[in-house]
């Protein structure tokens, strides 16, 4: 360890650091000379004369801080490093700018905008107080006014603007531009040498003397464009001036010095010539004066009046009594002549000279009736009962011989009969009563009151448009055709209040007629409806039908609450096997729905038989074979619908296999359950391309043309997407080519048709498959144009089905039915339960009017020898 070097008087010793000594003076400490205490990079032995201050060492520049920074023994300004750089006698530590010799303490301030004496402020006269760019020390004599400073132009504002001690006109800088001896500050127009203070006023509408006002005779007070000094003799009247127009007002309008002659009233009558006095020398002659018969224009209006002139020179004017001043032979006292003129101007034209009827001749000229214009000598004789030509009296043809008011010349075609004349009324008596040339019905005067084309003379009832000669006889008990007799079928011979034409099929028997009650068992058509001993339609519990294994039917009653009762067997059981297909419909038009079923024919294995169960008036049923309905073994009865729009229900069948696959046949009903077939009514598309397909069992009108249409749907497993097509009905039992109306990503094995949402358009319920969601149905609202809306969930029969593991569980068919008779379509559904190959379930669903249904509890049953997959059958009367 090196020896310690004292820095202050020695007190205590420590090693490696400067520490306070215990019990020593506070000012005394020792430093280890090997330690750079102030961190300035030098040790005391290397030139750091104060190792406590980092700004003190031999390499540090001298700065003005009262310390010997560079350790040369010189402090601040005494150090030659901080000497007087600008030579102004003040070192750098005391000089505020040691690079400018004009700046140092005690130096006088000069006008340069700099702090010369280093007192921290610029001189007051070096500040530009008014912002005009000139400070007081540079010549601004008023540093509070921006318009005053040395070098600014002199203005005429009463101030010394350029600080030369001269104001306005005193300053030579203010010019006399027009050379009239007055400078611009006092000259009110220094561009006009005739205008200056004290100048003589001229008639020029200018302030020549710069007095600040225009002289009165140079002002145009009335705005007429002329001043008094220019000759306006009345500057308060805009109508008076040398340039004005002289008016008739008694005023010197043009300043001529006097009033015009025609404005002076010479005769003192109050009217001047310019006011219309046509003779200003005569005070009785003036406008509005009373005109006298004196040959003078007294009222000064349009000259001498006509009645004071003697135009015909006969010595008399009109006002003197000449009644025609254009005729020299007419004047007071002239001789009267037969000329229709008042020749003597006394009491008018004499009566004998007047042509009162304006026919051109007067009485004195031979007119025998001067009150009738058609009567005068040589006039044409008229049919008027008068002597028109004033010759030989009234002609014979103008006399009324029969006193009926008309003469032969007035059209009386028979002047010996007072009932015949043009004014008489035509009656049906075979003579021309009104003399128009037409007799009886030929005459337009004979009315056709009922506008049926026949007048009263020919029409036996002219108040009924349906009655006239040749009219069609109506069933009304009247002689419609005017033959004189009523038709034989319009007579109620048996007095039962109905005639043959009203539907009485036996008018000799009073118990037979349209309103009669049918008597059961008498083999007579008592009510004339074309049917003998037919059943009486009654409101009964609706029934749905299913086929039995013995070839008969099961009819299942449904109560108004939707419950399904026990089935009742109907129809004859046949040894040929089960019912293959079922339809419930009123085929014979008796108002009672019948069960129709398809069965195998034991005598013809290639064709099937169709039977219907007819109900008679006693309620007994009879099986009747429909021999006209030929169904090959591959065809199945499908539905009943009015296919040809004749009001009768027809039958529809479809081929399910073999060469009949996809072929639809129509069997048209003649109204009494006899049929004619329409072969090849339509060809379906799906059976040719799909493994699973189905048809609607209740064809209805979907496209709005009034004819039932056919809907088919199909799909090919395992792809569960179904396509449906619409075959539009033509109204003759056949169908047009189909169009795709629906593609649904669900399997469809059943189609049910009807207006389920009650909007007037028929809808679809589709589904009832054993694939996808087994037993689910989907509702599609119809648009009435053959298209359908988006599908929505409807009823799902699967929760109602018995639990089973069979592959057909949930697959079924359905038909619409209104079982509660409330006008809202309900539903009947039959499906496979899957428990066994012949297990079936049956349920009804109450419609909500929106495409959804409330399902009843199901009824289960079995069917022997069920049809192949896809041909399950269920039927109900058409709602």
**Residues 553 and 680 placed together within one structural domain of the fold:** yes
What pLDDT, on a 0 to 100 scale, did the predictor assign at position 513? 85
Residues 590, 633, single domain; the answer is yes
In a domain, residue 873? The reply is: no
Query: Which one of 390, 419, 446 terminates a domain?
Result: 446
Least confident of 291-300, 536-545, 844-853: 536-545
Whether residues 660 and 773 share a domain: the answer is yes
Given this model, what pLDDT does residue 631 score? 83
Residue 147 lies in a domain: no
pLDDT in tens, 71-119: 988 887 777 777 778 888 788 888 888 888 888 888 888 888 788 889 8
**Per-residue pLDDT at 399:** 87
Of 446, 477, 507, the one marking the end of a domain is 446
Residue with tokens 């500050």: 185
Report helix, strand or coil for 492.
Answer: coil
Q: Is residue 78 part of a domain?
A: no
Question: What is the sign of the dihedral through the CA atoms of 252, 256, 260 and 264?
Answer: positive
Q: What is the pLDDT of residues 838-859, one digit of tens each?
A: 677 788 889 999 999 888 877 7
Give percent of the chain with pLDDT exceeding 90: 13
Question: What average pLDDT does the segment 455-479 reach?
Answer: 88
| pLDDT at residue 861, rounded to an integer | 65
Residue-range definition of the domain harbouring residue 458: 447-490
Angle (nearest 5°) at CA 275 between 272 and 276: 95
Name the DSSP letter for residue 362. Answer: -
| pLDDT recorded at residue 657 | 77
Average pLDDT of the chain? 81
761/835 same-domain check: yes
Q: Is residue 878 part of a domain?
A: no
* pLDDT tens-place string over residues 396-405: 888 888 888 8
Please write the tens of the pLDDT for every residue from 266-279: 888 888 898 888 88
User: Is pLDDT of 757 > 80?
Assistant: yes
Same domain membership, residue 568 and residue 524: no
Whole-angstrom CA distances from 453 to 438, 442, 841 are 17, 12, 71
Please state whether the peptide bond connecting residue 258 to the residue before it is cis, i.e. omega within 30 degrees of 0: no
Looking at the structure, tell me whether residues 572 and 616 fall in a common domain.
yes
Residues 416 and 503 in one domain: no
The average pLDDT across 418-436 equals 85
Return the closest-CA partner of residue 210 out of 226, 193, 227.
Answer: 193
Percent pLDDT > 70 in the chain is: 88
In this predicted structure, the answer to whether residue 753 has a pLDDT above a threshold of 80 is yes
Confidence of residue 535 (pLDDT cuts 50, 70, 90): low
Q: Are 594 and 615 in contact (CB under 8 A)?
A: yes
Mark whether 441 and 458 lie in a shared domain. no
Asked if residue 460 and residue 583 are part of one domain, the reply reads no
Q: How confident is the model at residue 531 (pLDDT cuts 50, 70, 90)?
A: confident
Same domain, 794 and 855: yes
By mean pLDDT, which of 61-75, 450-464, 615-629 is the weakest?
Answer: 615-629
Residues in the chain: 879
Domain count, the chain: 5
Residue 115 counted as domain residue: no
DSSP designation for 686:
H
The confidence band for 574, taking pLDDT boundaries of 50, 70 and 90, is low
Q: What is the mean pLDDT of residues 566-593?
A: 74
Name the β-bridge partners of 831: 812, 841
**Over the range 449-463, which residues count as b (16 or more CB within 10 Å of their CB) and which as e?**
ebebebbbbbbbbbe
The set of residues, in sequence order, having a beta carbon less than 8 Å from that of 398 and lying 6+ positions away, is 383, 384, 385, 386, 407, 409
The residue among 506, 533, 560 that closes a domain is 533
pLDDT tens digits, one per residue of 759-807: 999 999 999 888 888 888 999 999 999 999 999 988 777 654 445 444 4
User: Residue 351: its pLDDT value, please?
Assistant: 84
pLDDT confidence of residue 24? 36
Q: Is the pLDDT of residue 477 over 80?
A: yes
Query: Which residues, in sequence order, are CB contacts of 855 under 8 Å at separation 6+?
Result: 795, 797, 800, 829, 843, 844, 845
DSSP character for 41?
S
Per residue in 14-36, pLDDT tens? 333 333 333 333 333 334 456 78
More confident residue, 632 or 242: 242
State whether 809 and 689 are in the same domain.
Answer: yes
Would you say residue 389 lies in a domain?
no
| Residue 694: exposure state from Cβ atoms within 10 A (0-12, 13-18, ≥19) | buried
Q: What is the pLDDT of residue 496?
A: 85
Q: Whole-prediction pTM value?
A: 0.46
Which CATH number is 724's domain given?
Answer: 2.120.10.30
**Comparing 211 with 865, which gets the higher pLDDT?**
211
In a domain, 1, yes or no: no
Domain match, 414 and 479 both: no
Q: Tell me, yes or no, whether 228 lies in a domain.
A: no
pLDDT at 713 over 90: yes
């Amino acid at each position: 360890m090196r020896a310690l070097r004292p820095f202050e008087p020695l007190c205590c010793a420590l090693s490696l650091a400067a520490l306070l000594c215990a019990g020593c003076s506070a000012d005394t400490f020792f430093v280890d000379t090997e330690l750079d205490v102030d961190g300035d990079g030098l040790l005391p032995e290397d030139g750091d004369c104060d190792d406590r201050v980092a700004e003190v060492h031999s390499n540090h520049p001298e700065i003005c801080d009262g310390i010997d920074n560079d350790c040369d023994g010189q402090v601040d300004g005494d150090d030659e490093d901080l000497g007087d750089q600008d030579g102004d006698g003040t070192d750098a530590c005391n000089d505020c700018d040691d690079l400018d010799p004009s700046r140092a303490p005690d130096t006088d301030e000069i006008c340069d905008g700099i702090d010369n004496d280093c007192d921290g402020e610029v001189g007051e006269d070096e500040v530009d107080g008014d912002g005009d760019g000139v400070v007081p020390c540079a010549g601004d004599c008023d540093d509070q006014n921006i318009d005053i400073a040395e070098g600014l132009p002199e203005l005429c504002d009463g101030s010394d603007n350029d600080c030369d001690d001269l104001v306005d006109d005193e300053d030579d800088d203010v010019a006399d531009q027009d050379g009239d001896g007055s400078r611009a500050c006092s000259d009110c127009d220094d561009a006009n040498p005739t205008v200056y203070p004290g100048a003589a006023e001229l008639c020029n509408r200018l302030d020549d003397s710069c007095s600040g006002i225009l002289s009165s005779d140079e002002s145009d007070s009335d705005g007429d464009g002329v001043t008094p000094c220019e000759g306006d003799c009345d500057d308060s009247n805009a109508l008076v001036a040398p340039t004005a127009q002289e008016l008739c007002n008694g005023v010197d309008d043009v300043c001529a010095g006097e009033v015009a002659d025609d404005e002076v009233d010479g005769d003192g009558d109050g009217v001047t010539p310019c006011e219309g006095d046509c003779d200003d020398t005569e005070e009785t002659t003036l406008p509005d004066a009373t005109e006298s018969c004196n040959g003078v224009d007294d009222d000064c209006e349009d000259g001498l009046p006509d009645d004071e002139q003697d135009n015909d020179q006969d010595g008399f004017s009109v006002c003197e009594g000449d009644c025609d001043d254009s005729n020299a032979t007419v004047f007071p006292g002239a001789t009267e002549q037969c000329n229709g003129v008042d020749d003597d101007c006394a009491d008018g034209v004499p009566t004998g000279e007047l042509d009162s009827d304006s026919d051109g001749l007067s009485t004195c000229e031979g007119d025998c009736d001067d009150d009738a214009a058609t009567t005068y000598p040589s006039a044409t004789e008229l049919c008027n009962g008068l002597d028109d030509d004033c010759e030989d009296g009234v002609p014979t043809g103008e006399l009324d011989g029969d006193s009926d008011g008309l003469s032969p010349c007035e059209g009386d075609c028979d002047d010996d009969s007072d009932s015949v004349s043009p004014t008489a009324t035509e009656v049906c008596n075979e003579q021309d009563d009104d003399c128009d040339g037409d007799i009886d019905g030929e005459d337009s005067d004979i009315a056709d009151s009922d506008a049926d084309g026949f007048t009263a003379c020919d029409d036996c009832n002219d108040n009924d448009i349906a009655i006239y000669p040749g009219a069609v006889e109506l069933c009304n008990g009247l002689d419609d055709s005017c033959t004189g007799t009523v038709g034989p079928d319009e007579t109620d011979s048996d007095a039962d209040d109905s005639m043959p034409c009203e539907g009485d099929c036996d008018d000799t028997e009073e118990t037979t007629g349209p309103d009669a009650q049918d008597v059961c068992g008498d083999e007579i058509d008592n009510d004339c409806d074309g049917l003998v001993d037919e059943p009486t339609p009654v409101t009964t519990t609706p029934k749905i039908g299913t086929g039995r294994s013995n070839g008969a039917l099961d009819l299942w009653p449904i109560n108004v609450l939707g419950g399904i009762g026990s089935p009742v067997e109907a129809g004859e059981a046949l040894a040929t096997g089960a019912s293959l297909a079922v339809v419930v419909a009123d085929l014979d038009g008796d108002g009672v729905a019948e069960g129709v079923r398809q069965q195998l024919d034991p005598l013809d294995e290639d064709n099937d038989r169709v039977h219907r169960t007819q109900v008679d008036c006693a309620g007994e049923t009879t099986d009747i074979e429909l021999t006209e309905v030929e169904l090959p073994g591959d065809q199945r009865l499908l539905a009943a619908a009015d296919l040809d729009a004749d009001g009768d229900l027809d039958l529809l069948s479809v081929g399910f296999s073999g060469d009949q696959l996809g072929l639809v046949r129509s069997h048209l009903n003649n109204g009494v359950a006899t049929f004619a077939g329409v072969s090849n009514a339509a060809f379906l598309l799906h059976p040719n391309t799909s493994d699973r397909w189905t048809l609607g069992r209740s064809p209805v009108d979907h496209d709005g043309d009034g004819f039932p249409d056919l809907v088919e749907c199909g799909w090919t497993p395992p792809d569960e997407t179904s396509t449906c097509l619409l075959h539009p009905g033509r109204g003759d039992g056949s169908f047009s080519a189909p169009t795709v109306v629906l593609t649904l990503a669900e399997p469809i094995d059943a189609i049910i048709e009807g207006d389920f949402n009650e909007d007037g358009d028929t809808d679809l319920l589709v589904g009832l498959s054993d694939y996808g969601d087994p037993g689910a149905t989907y509702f599609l609202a119809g648009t009435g144009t053959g298209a359908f809306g988006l599908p929505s969930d409807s009823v799902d029969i699967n929760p109602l089905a018995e639990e089973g593991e069979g592959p057909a569980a949930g697959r079924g068919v359905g038909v619409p039915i209104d079982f509660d008779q409330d006008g809202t379509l309900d539903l009947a559904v039959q499906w496979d339960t899957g428990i066994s190959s012949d297990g079936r379930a049956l349920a009804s669903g109450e419609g909500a009017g929106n495409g959804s249904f409330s399902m009843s509890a199901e009824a289960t049953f079995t069917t022997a020898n069920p049809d192949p997959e896809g041909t399950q059958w269920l039927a109900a009367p058409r709602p």
